[in-house]
Amino acid sequence: MTDVTTQVEKKTFRNHVKPIWCPGCGDHSVLACLVKALDSLELNITDTAVISGIGCSSRLPGYMSCYGMNSIHGRAIPIATGLKMGRPEMTVVITGGDGDGFAIGGNHVMHAVRRNIDLTYIMMDNGIYGLTKGQVSPTTPIGYKTKTTAYGAYEKPIAPLEVMLAYGCTYVAQAFSADMPRLQELIVEAIKYPGFSFINVISPCVTYRGGSQIYKDLKPLLKPIGAEHDIHDWDAAHKIARDKTRLHVGVLYQERRETYQETQDDLKQRAPHAEAPSVVDIAKKYR
């Protein structure tokens, strides 16, 4: 038997499928960084899964060679949650866009944070619905004209970093897709971090949100969070999150809190155990 068994081999996380993304899309870089990060972590494709919902960025699992799911709009978080709860030994990463995470799937984010389940959520924030070809998204800036805001967007955009901090997320970071070494580093760190980790990646859509000019506009705003920032200081993190004049990149906040898995281990200790729980004993209770 053992001779036919496939041993887990070291394989790269990138498969051979060519992405459907437009040239210049930030998601290409995020894919490259995620692959490099996973490769460098010496994880294997057999025990890793990348889960997504629907959207341009949610196509990402299809370009990975590990296990994964490209599911339904907004539901990547609960699906990844179910997988991680059932198979805690696996490494589970969620990828998706701002519409997927903060519009249709908005309710799930706060509850994943509340459970502090050990998932890494990489949100590719492009401020537009790209897959459906250019409608307003929860992070589109006020005034920006999209196909569904013909006279300019008029609803106050969601600020993902502020929201995640307010939810009590234990790992909040921001990155820029064009700033690849740092992005890769942040992904490595987020995956290693026990608990729910969130990286907001500004990943421009050159087709529906600003053309290639957007890179030129964003680059001068880039400001790495310096060593003087105390990542355990929530107020300081919140101050950075509120500053929209710059594109702050790096870790804003970190906090070690009991993970879902740890609470479960504790709960299993507290549940009344016979030496071996048996269904016969349960039946007896009904007699």
Residue 65 CB, nearest approach to another protein (Å): 6
C-alpha to C-alpha distance for 92 and 183, rounded to whole angstroms? 18
Residue 10 CB, nearest approach to another protein (Å): 11
Residue number with CB closer to another protein (51 or 206): 51
Residue number with CB closer to another protein (129 or 260): 260
Output phi, psi for 205, to 5 deg: -105, 110
Residue number with CB closer to another protein (51 or 186): 51
Residue number with CB closer to another protein (8 or 142): 8
Residue 129 CB, nearest approach to another protein (Å): 17
What is Dmax (Cα atoms) for the chain? 74
Three-class SS of 256-287: CCCCHHHHHHHHHHHCCCCCCCCHHHHHHHCC
What letter represents residue 20's amino acid? I
Helices (H) and strands (E) in the chain, counts: 10, 8
Cα first-last separation, the chain = 46
Residue 1 CB, nearest approach to another protein (Å): 5
Residue 31 CB, nearest approach to another protein (Å): 14
- DSSP state, 203? -
C-alpha to C-alpha distance for 196 and 84, rounded to whole angstroms? 11
Burial letters 2-41, b for 16+ CB under 10 A, else e: eeeeeeeeeeebbeeeeeebeeebbbbbbbbbbbbbbbee
Residue 12 CB, nearest approach to another protein (Å): 12
C-alpha to C-alpha distance for 193 and 197, rounded to whole angstroms? 7
Residue number with CB closer to another protein (113 or 214): 113
C-alpha to C-alpha distance for 86 and 80, rounded to whole angstroms? 10
Q: Which residues bind another protein (CB under 8 A)?
A: 1-2, 4-9, 17, 45-47, 49, 51, 54, 59, 61-62, 64-72, 75, 77-87, 90, 107-108, 110-111, 264, 267-268, 271-273, 277-280, 282-283, 286-287
Residue number with CB closer to another protein (71 or 174): 71
Residue number with CB closer to another protein (76 or 175): 76
Residue 234 CB, nearest approach to another protein (Å): 24
